Amino acid sequence: MTDINQKVDQLFKILAASEDMEYIGEPISQLQHALQAAQCGIDSKSDSEMIIAALLHDIGHLIESESADKHEAVGVINHDEEGELYLRALGFPEKVITLVGGHVKAKRYLVATNSSYAGSLSPASVKTLELQGGPMSPEEVHAFQSHPYFREMLQIRGWDERAKEVDKAVTLLEEYRPMITRLLEKSAADNSSIKQ
């Protein structure tokens, strides 16, 4: 239990510090973007794993990692992969990890399959898309569509796109602490029962 509390404290320290970090190309902070994305999950009456995945979808931009592929203008190119690794190390449930790891793939999928979506991307999103591999190939599209969390990854992506409003009313960061703690406790218990 103490170990989980320490992990949550570490995570919240990182998130709180992102209040002072600009969200790439937008007039809001990284923290405001995260809170707005999570609020979309709350407003959609989604489960706690979806809400927390939305809150943490850009955590890969905020952590220090030697394997981060940093770009001066748009942050960590592989932030989806970095976030996935970080959340796995903390012990999050697989669904949260997969959704965080899939939100860039969802953008690449939507650009490949929806021309109006491609036209709606911000200049920063267009630049990151180019650096993240561009639109998916037909083979990648087919594989992505068959993923068990296909619809959820698209939903997180939609929330990511909407989470760019100035002065939007959101749930405060600290209010997510019990939800995150419960997810980590449940994941630890599930993993413990699998090992026995």
Map 120-150 to HEC letters.
HCCHHHHHHHHHCCCCCCHHHHHHHHCCCCH
Beta bridge partners of 29: 22
In a domain, 182, yes or no: no
**Token pair listed for 166:** 């100035």
9 inside domain: yes
Q: Residue 65: helix, strand or coil by DSSP?
A: coil
- What's the number of domains the chain is made of? 1
Render each residue's pLDDT in the chain as its tens digit; 196 residues. Answer: 579 999 999 999 999 999 998 887 788 999 999 999 999 999 999 999 999 999 999 999 998 877 767 777 667 677 889 999 999 999 999 999 999 999 999 999 999 999 899 888 878 788 888 888 899 999 999 999 999 999 999 999 999 999 999 999 999 999 999 999 999 999 999 877 666 5
Residue 122 domain-assigned (yes or no): yes
Residue 16 lies in a domain: yes
Q: What's the CA gap between 151 and 111, in Å, rounded?
A: 16
Residue 129 lies in a domain: yes
- Classify residue 27: in a domain, yes or no: yes
Residues 6+ apart with CB under 8 A from 120: 161
Is 7 within a domain?
A: yes
CATH, residue 130: 1.10.3210.10
Name the residue range of residue 55's domain. Answer: 2-166
In a domain, 56, yes or no: yes
